[in-house]
A = this chain, B = another copy of it.
């Protein structure tokens, strides 16, 4: 049976998603959990494949992996309990034997969260529309030599969510650092140090200066549309507890840091 698993993770404590000889990786932890659960013993035999790579510090809500196993669907549902607390499954689907999540991906959506201190979200949303369509993203990416710099952005929007701002970008596929460079350009537009015209000039090549990428910690691989209908899986209680604890931790740290620098009494 070939099965696709949709899963999320917090990127803080990973040296990126992709398997590498040294350092804790998302793929490494995912594969180890599968082996512990007995889904397979060799990742090559199981043809384990992932929809995409994320850099060090980047999070995911909808990363997709595929694997082949002789175990049943019910066993795969236990995978979430074998993963470390900072990775959790949220969907599974039985897929055709040839399924590869990267090749099956019709569109990917990233979200970039930011603190909207002094940023005009409406101006950012207008500037975001400039990215729609097919463009040469050379100025908005770290390109490997010979790589086609053209990509098609299906949607790019900016909105508020709670006390944060969020940029949501959907494209058929992305270049390396592309979302972080788009975010950086939109943040500049939102604080008045950049404009929609400046973005257009860089997309047409009239301005050849590269845009620097925004910091990674705000970036989330939100969704990969593989044309699959996901059967929902709950995160483990351990993972849910850890996430609630981390949410409190970050909220408390923010409050403390806000109060600390004052010289006060």
Contact = CB atoms under 8 A, between A and B. Distances in A.
A253 B257 CA distance: 14
Nearest to A247: B257
Nearest to A162: B255
A114 to B, nearest CB: 7
Contacts of A265: 62, 223
A240 interface: yes
A251 B163 contact: yes
B243 A90 contact: no
B259 A250 contact: no
B248 A260 contact: no
A243 B256 contact: no
Contact of A115 (B88, B117, B218, B248): B248
A129 to B, nearest CB: 22
Given A90-B263, A263-B91, A246 B257 contact: yes
A161 interface: yes
Contacts of A59: 256, 260
A164 interface: yes
Contacts of A162: 255, 258
Interface string A183-204: 0000000000000000000000
A42 B240 CA distance: 50
A91 B265 CA distance: 10
A19 interface: no
A220 interface: yes
A252 B8 CA distance: 17
A232 interface: yes
A261 interface: yes
Contacts of A61: 259-260, 262, 264
A157 to B, nearest CB: 15
Contacts of A255: 113, 161-164
A233 interface: yes
Contact of A257 (B163, B243, B261, B262): B243
A261 B235 contact: yes
A33 B10 CA distance: 35
A249 interface: yes
Contact of A117 (B230, B234, B248): B248
A218 B252 contact: yes
